Amino acid sequence: MESVCLFCRIVERDLPAATVFEDELSIAFLDHRPLFPGHCLLIPKTHYETLADLPERLTGPLFGNARLLAGAVELAMQSEGSFVAINNRVSQSVPHLHIHIVPRSK
């Protein structure tokens, strides 16, 4: 059966994405509707709908990747900082846990 989750389809390589990072746990790609250029989404490769669904053993590794990406995005985009956020259900356009990493400047 074909996966209907858009982010699972990206993980499965059924949908193209501009991948900027990948390891065994997660994948990050450019948002197709960015708030600012360089806006990335980091997702676990396994489907979890919200942060509360993420197993505790994966929390540290996933947020370690978010930390790494926040620094890389700031450097690559020559920004003054970054905005890192998660929506749980409300305003979550795709029901697959994803962390927004957005370069920001004053």
Please report which residue ranges of 1-106 form alpha helices under DSSP H: 6-11, 56-77
Of residues 39, 96, 98, 100, which has the active-site annotation? 98
Beta strands of 1-106 (E only): which ranges? 19-22, 26-30, 40-44, 81-85, 99-104
The number of C-alpha atoms within 13 Å of 72 and in the hemisphere containing its C-beta is: 14
Sign of torsion over alpha carbons 44, 24, 67, 103: negative
Catalytic annotation present for 98? yes
Active site residues: 98
